[in-house]
């Protein structure tokens, strides 16, 4: 049977990784708190190797060489890591130590006959290709939800040396709390139809009335800096799958549409009756957002 190693950096949100590894023998290599290792052990893996928790001033990334050594010794067919910062560093250490090939934006995985077959997005998500790879493979993909508790397997503790000289010297809170749009059930997104930063209050009010998260198209995050990057939906931003997606003043260029293509119901509000997004939307509302959005917010409230 094929074998899969899952890298866990103090975060048990690996539900999608477990699904991707189904059909193979799974081992989780955990760095961080013991309670995270215990939670993963009850989440459906076949075995857990816990390398310990770092000192307060040592980042999880310092475990890179130790994680790479464990994986290199086991030589699994497949290694999975979440897209979170520390997990990506651990994956990079494994790639450097093993010479494995690394892929992202993977939708499906099949391991058979000593090779790994991958279905993945290309050209910014507007097409998919199937790739067959021989030799070790590392995939960096969205980790998914937290594991579901069940029968626990034994956690094997293994002493690990962290890379010396790497310490945390300062921590600063973000000006705006980060948000995981990939988990949001409802999203209201602002586009270039919103004329000023102050007018984002209209979008935020509608989002609050819907119990939704506020988001934006690329120009508002990368060009104007009105929103932080974690709220930008698009090819190089967040790829979201909400039940409801409301696009306010979003023109609907391909790079944005790809990021929201997984949405259930799409509502597009735009003053331009020929707005490209209307071809993608389930409900199209033609009109001035400055009149429509407050009216919708009032009705919902």
Beta-bridge partners for 265: 244
SS3 238: strand
Report the alpha-carbon distance of residue 40 to residue 63 in Å, rounded: 18
pLDDT score of 104: 86
Is pLDDT at 124 greater than 70 in this prediction? no
Report the alpha-carbon distance of residue 257 to residue 296 in Å, rounded: 23
Domain ranges of the chain: 3-157, 181-300
pLDDT digits (tens, 9 = 90+) for 206-252: 999 999 999 999 999 988 889 888 899 998 888 899 999 999 999 98
Give the count of alpha carbons within 13 A of 110, CB side only: 7
pLDDT score of 182: 86
pLDDT digits (tens, 9 = 90+) for 57-99: 889 999 999 999 999 999 999 999 998 999 999 999 999 999 9
Average pLDDT, the chain: 90
- Minimal CA–CA distance to 221: which of 181, 183, 279? 181
Q: What is the torsional sign of CA 22, 16, 138, 30?
A: negative
CATH architecture of 3-157: 3-Layer(aba) Sandwich (3.40)
Domains 3-157 and 181-300 share a fold: yes
Percent of the chain whose pLDDT exceeds 90: 61
pLDDT score of 174: 60
* Region of poorest pLDDT, from 37-46, 78-87, 176-185, 271-280: 176-185
pLDDT band at 177 (very low <50, low <70, confident <90, very high): low
Angle at 204 between CA 203 and CA 209, to 5 degrees: 100
Report the alpha-carbon distance of residue 255 to residue 218 in Å, rounded: 9
CB 248 within 8 A of CB 207: no
Residue 139: CB partners within 8 Å, gap ≥ 6? Answer: 20, 78, 79, 80, 81, 102, 103, 104, 106, 109, 118
pLDDT digits (tens, 9 = 90+) for 182-217: 889 999 999 999 999 999 999 999 999 999 999 999
Q: What is the CATH number of domain 181-300?
A: 3.40.50.1220
Report the alpha-carbon distance of residue 205 to residue 199 in Å, rounded: 10
pLDDT band at 270 (very low <50, low <70, confident <90, very high): very high
């Amino acid at each position: 049977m094929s074998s899969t190693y899952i890298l866990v950096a103090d975060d048990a949100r690996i539900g999608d990784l477990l699904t991707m590894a189904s059909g193979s023998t799974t081992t989780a290599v955990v760095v961080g708190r013991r309670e995270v290792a215990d939670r993963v052990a009850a989440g459906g893996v076949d075995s857990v190797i816990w390398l310990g928790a770092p000192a307060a001033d040592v980042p999880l990334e310092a475990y890179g060489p130790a994680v790479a050594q464990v994986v290199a010794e086991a030589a699994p067919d497949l290694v999975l890591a979440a897209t979170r910062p520390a997990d990506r560093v651990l994956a990079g250490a494994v790639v450097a130590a093993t010479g494995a090939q690394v892929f992202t934006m993977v939708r499906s995985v099949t391991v058979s006959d000593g090779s790994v077959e991958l279905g993945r997005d290309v050209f910014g998500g507007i097409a998919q290709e199937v790739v067959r790879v021989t030799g070790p493979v590392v995939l960096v993909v969205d980790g998914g939800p937290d594991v579901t508790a069940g029968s626990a397997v034994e956690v094997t503790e293994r002493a690990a040396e962290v890379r010396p000289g790497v310490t945390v010297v300062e921590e600063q809170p973000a000006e705006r709390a980060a948000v995981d749009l990939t988990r949001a059930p409802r999203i209201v997104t602002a586009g270039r139809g919103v004329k000023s930063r102050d007018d984002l209050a209209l979008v935020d009010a509608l989002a609050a009335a819907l119990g939704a998260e506020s988001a934006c198209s690329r120009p508002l995050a990368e060009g104007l800096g009105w929103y932080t990057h974690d709220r930008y939906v698009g090819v190089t931003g967040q790829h979201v799958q909400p039940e409801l997606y409301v696009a306010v003043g979003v023109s609907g260029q391909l790079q944005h549409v790809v990021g929201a293509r997984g949405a259930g119901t799409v509502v597009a509000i735009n003053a331009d009756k020929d707005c490209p997004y209307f071809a993608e939307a389930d409900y199209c509302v033609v009109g001035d957002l400055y009149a429509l959005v407050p009216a919708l917010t009032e009705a919902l409230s």
